[in-house]
Chains A and B, each alone.
Chain A
Amino acid sequence: MIQLDHIERVFQVGDQKVHALHDVGLKVERGEYLSIMGPSGSGKSTLLNIIGLLDRPSDGQYFLDDKDVSLLTEKEQAKTRREKIGFVFQFFHLVPRLTAAENVELPLVLAGMMPGERKQKVSEVLQAMGIGDRMHHRPEQLSGGQRQRVAIARATIMQPTVILADEPTGNLDRASGKEVVEILERLVDNGLTLVVVTHDPELGQRAKRQIKMVDGSIVSDTLRSV
């Protein structure tokens, strides 16, 4: 489903070139649970952004569902993000002036869905995340764990095939981090593909497939022994 071949990503900083990714090849099948670990600056976020079509590789090829994404227009890429990919960020990235429900509704609004249909879905998803009673609260009125659950609800409401999570627990305490991880893992049980970037080895080791990156390259790709 996701196939990366010889991906390079070079940033130009002044007159210096920063090689964030070097010859990365990766194949992820539908329904896989993958964690990416590695030291800071090893290119984990960069890789995730490329998978999520937020960034383009400098070189190499990326096939998503057997389609070469470099051939897609900006508009088609946006549509792909909207329909196939859900993002979960370390800093939640909720819109502060909107309520939890409105934040979750945002992807549906962007997709042009009718309001009646939207309300129904939003409340279902928020119930499923266990924050149905916080629907009309704004982000500042929610705890970190609740905010991340709102963000996950938003990432899943379009029923994407992949969830990309960059340090989803990085800003949470242990307990609420654990809750968030359990919610994400439930998504895998329902057939979604999950890619988690993390610094936390305990969290990383929960994934079936673990990838380690160093200096922009994948140095190990192991399956968890059951």
Chain B
Amino acid sequence: MRITDTLKFSLSTFRGSPARTFLMLLAMSIGVTSVVALTALGEGARRYVTDEFSSLGTSLLIVIPGRTETTGGSPSLFIGETPRDLTLDDARALLRYSSIRQVAPLNIGSAPVSWKQREREAPVIGTTAEFLTIRHWEMAQGSFLPAGDPESAGSVCVIGQNIRNELFGASSALGEWIRIGDRRFRVIGVLQSAGRSIGIDSQDLVIIPVASAQALFNTSSLFRIFVEAKDRDELSRVEALVIKTIKERHQGEEDITVVSQNAVLATFDKIFRALTLTVAGIASVSLAVAGVLIMNVMLVSVSQRTPEIGLLKALGAPDRQILVLFLTEAAMLSLFGALIGLILGELGIWVMILLYPSFPLTAPIWAVVSAVSVALLTGLVFGALPARRAAKLEPVQALSRR
């Protein structure tokens, strides 16, 4: 039997039972649509996050106290040595290198913040003037912390939009004195409510000079040191420099971890890739469901078309030919279903783009290709049982009307 005739014969069976065909196409296309649309969403989320991160600047290094790597059997573990704290002097020591543009120490804590009768608990960070440009933040009103000696504990603060709204409502915040913990600070600026900030929501922050924060939280250590390199290409050299400098200052003990923005980016990238794959996996369950449906409907079809199968055998079709006919039918159904699903999926993506233009949405090629091939494979695998059953029918039994 010629290939074109095989295809034509399958098409004629679809015409013969349009309702059944529609049902199978529907099941298959729903499966493919969900794979395509969901992976587009996952992929879109990944690109959105990585784009956001890149906008933060990729020449940033973050110094964290303590080693996060497990150095299995390191002697320091047995001695039970705790990592030394990061200090303001550590931060200042980094400033002497020409390859480092700027450094911002960071302290973080939480304290009740109040103005007149209004009070709320808010995250408080202590830092220096450089933090504004390092984080690419902008001011809505007033100015950020003044540049100058980080050791001087000025009584000024910068607040986020939410804090401003909650404490001051309609009245003006600039120049007012607010109470943070047991100290008083004058508001000198309000942060712009820019969405570009991952990790901390700038809108809920209160920012004070780092020395004030150390006094407020009664500590001499730092939570982080942000280091911005002059040149992005020198990032790894700067990283080594940072590690070496602080190691020297910590009696030769390498007790810090340096994370580059790139590493964070890579981690997020990995997380979102895994997420997309998971979503794709879940969506492909619906492909399997479609496969089971195809199998069921085809089994019914085989029993309904038993006389026809008997006839084909009587007319001289070998078992193999019957097998090929039914497999072709399953393959065509799943392929058509997949194509319809692709079109629906792309249509859905198009609608979502219309609704959320800023969200980068496209179905990744690998998802499209694998959805279609999984659909085809599902059709063939689940079509195999009915096809084999058809091929194995005894012609006499198949022809007799029982």
Q: Which residues of A contact B (CB under 8 A)?
A: 49, 52, 54-55, 74-75, 78-83, 87, 89, 91, 93, 95-98, 102, 106-107, 109-112, 115, 154, 158
- Encoded as 1 (CB less than 8 Å from any A CB) or 0, chain B from 283 to 319 comes to 0000000000000000000000001101111111111
Query: For A83, what are the chain B residues with a Cβ–Cβ distance below 8 Å?
Result: 316
Contact status A106-B313, CB under 8 Å: no
Pairwise interchain contact A91-B316, C-beta atoms closer than 8 A = no
Shortest CB-to-CB span from A218 to chain B, Å, is: 20
- With A54-B396, A93-B307, A110-B321 as known contacts, state yes or no: A82 contacts B16, CB within 8 Å: no
A21 to B308: give the CA distance in the assembly, Å.
Answer: 27
Known: A97-B16, A109-B9. A78 touches B318 (CB 8 A): yes
10 residue pairs of the A-B complex, CB under 8 angstroms, read: A49-B396, A54-B396, A79-B316, A81-B315, A89-B399, A98-B12, A107-B315, A109-B9, A110-B321, A115-B4
Q: Contact check: which of A54, A96, A109, A111 meets B314 at CB < 8 Å? A: A54
With A75-B318, A93-B307, A95-B308 known to touch, is A110 a contact of B1 (CB < 8 Å)? yes
For B, the interface residue count at a CB cutoff of 8 angstroms equals: 28
The smallest beta-carbon distance between A112 and chain B, in angstroms, is 5
Proximity string of chain B (360-402) to chain A, C-beta cutoff 8 Å, 1 when within and 0 when not: 0000000000000000000000000000000000111001010
B320 at the interface (CB under 8 A from A): yes
User: A110-B315, A112-B2 known; A54 and B13 CB under 8 Å?
Assistant: no
| Residue pair A55, B316 in contact (C-beta under 8 Å) | no
Enumerate chain A residues within 8 angstroms of B401, measured Cβ to Cβ.
Answer: 91
B5 at the A interface (CB under 8 A)? yes
Which residues of chain B from 240 to 293 have any CB-CB distance to chain A below 8 Å in the complex?
none
Given A55-B396, A109-B5, A112-B2: A97 in contact with B316 (beta carbons within 8 A): no
Q: Once the chains are docked, how many angstroms separate the CA of A115 from the CA of B312?
A: 19
Known: A78-B318, A82-B315, A112-B2. A97 touches B399 (CB 8 A): no
- Tell me whether A95 and B316 are in contact (CB under 8 A): no
Do A93 and B399 touch (CB < 8 A)? Answer: yes
The B interface is mostly helix, strand or loop, or mixed, namely: helix
Question: Which listed residue, B1, B4, B395, touches A54 by the CB 8 Å rule?
Answer: B395
- Complex Cα distance, B319 from A74, in Å, reads 8
User: B308 — which chain A residues lie within 8 A by C-beta?
Assistant: 95
Chain A: minimal CB distance from B73 (Å): 69
What are the 8 tightest A-B residue pairs by CB atom distance, in nearest-first order?
A82-B316, A97-B16, A78-B318, A81-B316, A54-B395, A75-B318, A93-B311, A109-B5
Which residues of the other chain, B, contact A102 by a CB distance below 8 angstroms?
12
CA distance A83 to B13 in the complex (A): 26
B313 in contact with A78 (CB, 8 Å):
yes
How many angstroms between the C-alpha atoms of A213 and B371 in the bound complex? 61
Q: Does A81 lie within 8 Å of B312, measured CB to CB?
A: no
Name B318's closest neighbour in chain A (CB-CB): A78
A-side contacts of B394, CB under 8 Å: 55
Q: Do A74 and B318 form a contact, CB below 8 Å, given A54-B399, A109-B9?
A: yes
Shortest Cβ distance from residue B254 to the other chain A in the assembled complex, whole angstroms? 75
Q: A112–B316 contact, CB under 8 A?
A: no
- Chain B residues within 8 Å of A110, by CB: 1, 312, 315-317, 321
Pair A109/B316 contact, Cβ less than 8 Å: no
B312–A87 contact, CB under 8 A? Answer: no
B2, B4, B15 — which one has the most chain A CB atoms within 10 A of its CB? B2
Taking CB atoms, residues of chain A closer than 8 Å to B1 are 109-112
Chain A residues within 8 Å of B316, by CB? 78-83, 107, 110-111, 158
Residues of A within 8 A of B318 (CB): 74-75, 78-79
Enumerate chain A residues within 8 angstroms of B395, measured Cβ to Cβ: 54-55
Whether A81 pairs with B15 at a CB distance below 8 angstroms is no
In the complex, the answer to whether B321 meets A87 with C-beta atoms within 8 Å is no
Contacts of B2 in A (CB 8 A): 109, 112
Query: CB-CB contacts of B313-337 with A at 8 A, as 1s and 0s?
Result: 1111111110000000000000000
Q: What separation, in Å, do the CA atoms of A107 and B15 have in the docked complex?
A: 21
Residue of A nearest to B308 (CB): A95
Give Cα A55–Cα B360 distance, bound, in whole angstroms: 65
Please provide the chain B residues from 1 to 59 with a CB less than 8 Å away from any CB of chain A in the complex.
1-2, 4-5, 9, 12-13, 15-16
| Contact between chains at A81 and B311 (CB < 8 Å) | no
Complexed CA–CA distance, A110 and B9 (Å): 11
Report whether A97 and B13 are in contact in the complex, using a CB–CB cutoff of 8 Å.
yes
Decide: B311 and A95 in contact? CB cutoff 8 A: yes
A154: contacting residue among B315, B321, B399, CB under 8 A: B315
A98: B residues at CB distance < 8 A: 12
In the assembled complex, which residues on chain A have CB atoms less than 8 Å from the CB atom of B317? 78, 82, 110
A26 to B82, CA, bound (A): 103
Cα distance, A110 to B395, chains bound together (Å): 16
CB distance from A7 to the nearest CB of B (A): 15
Contact call A97/B12, Cβ cutoff below 8 A: yes
What is the bound-complex CA distance between A35 and B268, given in angstroms? 84
The residues of A that contact B315 with a CB separation of less than 8 Å are 81-82, 87, 106-107, 110, 154
